[in-house]
Structure 1
Amino acid sequence: MAAQEAAAGGGSPQVVMRWRYGDVGDSNFAVHGRAVPLLVGLLCAVVFFVALCLYLRWRCHRRHAPDDPEADASSPSSAAAPSLPGLDADAIRGLPVTLYRPPASPRLRGEAGDDDPAAALCSICISALLAGEKVKVLPPCGHCFHPDCVDAWLRSQPSCPLCRCLLAAAAAKDAV
């Protein structure tokens, strides 16, 4: 009989394992003694390792992010690009201060007219420019702003807040 099975099975006898479900019980899966602290320690180590990997991944991506100021300061391209500091106090004081007069000439259809509130606003503080109020007129572009508003802007930026026209270039042309 064994010879027939060996000839039919290709020469090797087949081993069949059968599970006896009577041997499997809840007691086989119970954790006793020193195994509980060992499993808790192992779980804590896995959680710590995953957290460490996520933190390191976050730091590496943050270091190479283009909007990171620390990464921009250390990059070679930032050394070639000049930073634009604001204007000095003498240049800011040298800008003309006049009294605001609303435009009296009628405008073409489609342009901002006298009844348009956007035509008489300080674009920095978004409040109305009233007739007779002091305003600073920026020389290159002619835009008007409240003196306090535009002075704070010009201490950090050398350009018009509305059209971004450089005031430093205009001041250099006037000096020559």
Structure 2
Amino acid sequence: MSIFFSTFLLAMAVSVYCCLLCRDRVRSDDDDTGAAAERARGGGTIAPFPVEALPPAYAYVVGSSEDGGATAASGGGGRECAVCLGAVREGEMVRRLPACEHVYHADCIDRWLAAHRTCPLCRRELDPGKNPPDQLPV
């Protein structure tokens, strides 16, 4: 009886080991295939956009000239952040993209730009080398 039980345990241990080994090999093959596909597309990883190249974040004011004319009466407090789809409320920190003038919550657009180099709304390419319009040399 003990020989049968020992053989059974050994067979189970070998089976578990083989399953784990095959699973790791499949994951490795998937990673290699994804990297090869990325290289075939001519890319690599996209470097995050340097957020420090953008104008500084500021507190949002409903109805101001920077608001684009949106008022609280026109739909619940002004703009909507296209990243989180939440309303931008007065006093929240926002950031304006210089390429297209779209406004987003500062935290939302910072996270977006860590993975993309375009505006989330209009997909306009952002160029960190260009000076924003409000920071041009005089």
TM-score normalised by the chain length of structure 2: 0.61
Cα deviation, residue 81, structure 1: 1.1
Matched, 1:149 2:108: yes
Matched, 1:167 2:123: no
Letter in 2 for 1:145: Y
Deviation digits for residues 10-61 of structure 1 (CA, Å, limit 9, x no counterpart): xxxxxxxxxxxxxxxxxxxxxxxxxx22111111111112112211221121
Does the C-alpha gap of structure 1 residues 156 and 165 become closer, same or farther in structure 2, counting only changes over 3 Å? Answer: same
What residue in structure 2 maps to residue 51 of structure 1? 16
1:78 to 35, 39, 55: 39
Cα deviation, residue 156, structure 1: 4.5
Distance (whole Å) between structure 2 residues aligned to residue 157 and residue 53 of structure 1:
40
* Higher RCO (CA-CA < 8 Å; seq separation 6+): 2
Flag structure 2 segments of 5+ consecutive residues without an equivalent: 60-64, 134-138
What residue in structure 2 maps to residue 121 of structure 1? 80
Does the C-alpha gap of structure 1 residues 125 and 57 become closer, same or farther in structure 2, counting only changes over 3 Å? Answer: same
What residue in structure 1 maps to residue 62 of structure 2? none
Letter in 2 for 1:54: C
Deviation digits for residues 59-103 of structure 1 (CA, Å, limit 9, x no counterpart): 1211112xx4x7645x48538414221222541237999732444
Q: Percent identity?
A: 24
Of the structure 1 ranges 143-152 and 37-46, higher mean CA displacement relative to structure 2 is found in 143-152
Flag structure 1 segments of 5+ consecutive residues without an equivalent: 1-35, 105-113
CA contact 1:122–1:144 (8 Å) conserved in 2: yes
Cα deviation, residue 155, structure 1: 4.3
TM-score normalised by the chain length of structure 1: 0.50
Distance (whole Å) between structure 1 residues aligned to residue 57 and residue 98 of structure 2:
8
Distance (whole Å) between structure 2 residues aligned to residue 101 and residue 134 of structure 1:
16
Distance (whole Å) between structure 2 residues aligned to residue 129 and residue 72 of structure 1:
38
Compute the RMSD of aligned alpha carbons. Answer: 3.9
Letter in 2 for 1:150: I
What residue in structure 2 maps to residue 100 of structure 1? 67
Q: How many residues align?
A: 124
- The residue matched to 1:86 in structure 2 has which SS? coil
